[in-house]
Amino acid sequence: MNRLDGKVAVVTGAGRGIGRAIANALHAEGATTIATSRASADPSFGAIEYETLDVADEQGWARVIERVLERHGHVDVLVNNAGIIAYDPLHELSMADWQAVVATNQTGVWLGMREVVPHMITQGGGSIVNISSIWGSAAVGGAHAYHATKGAVRNMSKNAAITYAPQNIRVNSLHPGFIGTPLTDAQAPEVNAYVVSQTPMGRAGTPEEIAAGVVFLASDEASFVTGSELVIDGGYLAQ
């Protein structure tokens, strides 16, 4: 449908699940799409370009964005999707696991925005979509590090939206509910069943439903949308 013709988009955590669906959707809408993940180059992406990136690596971000600019001259859309989770309760989580979750979920988002914003200022604007979670606004037992980082993403997005609105850089957060992905497939079945049972629509969402929201926020259709939280959760947070 070409809603993103002429735009260059970078997506993190795009090796599978939500990130893979986002990269596919942006590409289908006409964007030149660069998918990134920590894995080695993946030929299955086809026409979608691929870069290896650990989002917690400052030099890695500089290298990837430099390559994108060398090839395409601009970067119009950044989707900070990469994320990990730890389930240990607060009093049992190790320092190493805490730091790993913060590095990927929070520092990675900050580094991505810091790297692309100067280029977006120079080119006259852009769109940043930061993937948070319903757990950035509500809580369940355990997973406190995930809650903390997704809440940070929510508020960092608002701050960046206000800061860079004069430069025509839109920054929004997207908050998925329970989505069927390899990440949730690895959770205990009883945990998944409980969250689905608490979702008014009574089912898990799909990665493609999240990707559709990203396409909207990335496109010019959302030209007056910044600092917003797009919740796609089957009604969970409406309760």
User: 174: which strand partners?
Assistant: 131, 230
One digit per residue, the tens of pLDDT, for the chain of length 239 reads 799 999 999 999 999 999 999 999 999 999 999 999 998 767 678 899 999 999 999 999 999 999 999 999 999 999 999 999 998 999 999 999 999 999 999 999 999 999 999 999 999 999 999 999 999 999 888 889 999 999 999 999 999 999 999 999 999 999 999 999 877 777 778 888 888 999 999 999 999 999 999 999 999 999 999 999 999 999 999 99
Q: What is the pLDDT of residue 87?
A: 87
Catalytic residue among 50, 146, 164, 236: 146
Is 50 assigned a catalytic role? no
Host H or E run for residue 122 = helix 108-123
3-state DSSP assignment of residue 86:
coil
Q: Do 88 and 146 contact (CB within 8 A), yes or no?
A: no
Q: What is the pLDDT of residue 187?
A: 74
Q: What is the pLDDT of residue 142?
A: 83
- Alpha-carbon gap, residue 71 to 34, rounded angstroms: 11
Q: Which CATH number fits domain 8-238: 3.40.50.2000, 3.40.50.1000, 3.40.50.720, 3.40.50.300?
A: 3.40.50.720
Question: What are the boundaries of each domain within the chain?
Answer: 8-238
Q: What is the pLDDT of residue 133?
A: 97
| Rg over CA atoms, the chain | 17
Q: What is the pLDDT of residue 154?
A: 98
The pTM of this model reads 0.96
Q: What is the pLDDT of residue 21?
A: 97
Q: Residue 78, CB half-sphere, CA atoms under 13 Å: how many?
A: 31
What are the start-end ranges of the E strands in the chain?
8-11, 32-37, 49-52, 77-80, 126-131, 169-176, 229-232
Q: What is the pLDDT of residue 181?
A: 86
